[in-house]
Amino acid sequence: MRSLSGNNHETPSSSERGIALVIVILVLAFLQVIGIVLLTVTGTGPRVAGNIRSQQQAYNGADAAFDTAWTTIEENFANGNWVRFDGQYLTQPAGIDDPISDGYFRKLTDQEILELIDPDEDGFPNINTVLFCRQLYVQNPDGSFDPRFTFTAFLINDEAGGGTPDPADCLLVCIGCVGSGPTMTTSRIEVELAIQLPGT
């Protein structure tokens, strides 16, 4: 009779240990990729929400520019300061109102337009015919104005590039801005305005 003694444990071969190590490494790599994806997604969400909020605030600025400019234009016509739009158009820098020019306002970004109108960013335009330039409009609780929120508005002669001149109409361009420098977000509204001149 043979007696059975001891344990029947077999030690894993080196190839089995190598396979197990490869599986562990693959699982860890997979978990790391999942972790990076989750971090990216959770980090991107607030940035996207912030960008959407800034864009909406910039649009609100452009809308505020339209409301303020429209009120100012109505007052100028009502009190006789203006009788037509000619003389109020933005004509500088050269080409700003000419569709075939590289400097045409629709070929420029909002930031480029603002740099041409107010290159030193002091809120005072270097061109006389700007209705509003970097106008502050959001008031803080203490009565001061928040410098991050501004708007700019000006008139463009819509016949400057050709066609029969008509001093009774124009294009009102309103630019709302949030922030400053490279982080500035802008939005632009363009509205065709027309008045009824006497005798027409």
d(CA 181, CA 126): 19
d(CA 158, CA 181): 30
Q: Is 1 inside any structural domain?
A: no
d(CA 130, CA 107): 19
- Phi first, then psi: what are they for 121, rounded to 5°? 55, 40
Measure CA of the first residue to CA of the last residue in the chain; give whole Å. 129
Q: Is 172 inside any structural domain?
A: yes
Q: Is 39 inside any structural domain?
A: no
Q: Give the distance, in angstroms, between the CA of residue 26 and the centroid of all CA atoms in the same chain.
A: 44
Whole-number pLDDT of residue 1:
47
Q: Are 146 and 139 in contact (CB under 8 A)?
A: yes
Whole-number pLDDT of residue 195:
81
Task: Work out the average pLDDT over 157-177.
Answer: 84
Q: Is 104 inside any structural domain?
A: yes
Question: What's the pLDDT tens digit per position in 154-164?
Answer: 999 888 767 77
Q: Which of 19-28, 91-100, 124-133, 172-181 has the lowest mean pLDDT?
A: 19-28
When the pLDDT of each residue in the chain is averaged and rounded to a whole number, the result is 82
Q: Is 177 inside any structural domain?
A: yes
Into how many domains does the chain fold? Answer: 1
Q: Is 84 inside any structural domain?
A: yes
- Phi first, then psi: what are they for 162, rounded to 5°? 145, 165
Q: Is 46 inside any structural domain?
A: no
User: Any idea which residue has 């006789």 for tokens?
Assistant: 80
3-state secondary structure of 48: helix
The 8-class DSSP code of residue 132 comes to E
Q: Is 63 inside any structural domain?
A: yes
Q: Which of 39-48, 100-109, 148-157 has the lowest mean pLDDT?
A: 39-48
Q: Are 83 and 194 in contact (CB under 8 A)?
A: no
Return the structure tokens found at 31: 């978990």
Whole-number pLDDT of residue 11:
63
Domain that holds residue 175: 57-194
d(CA 69, CA 77): 12
Question: What's the pLDDT tens digit per position in 45-81?
Answer: 666 566 678 888 898 999 999 999 999 999 998 888 8
d(CA 60, CA 57): 5
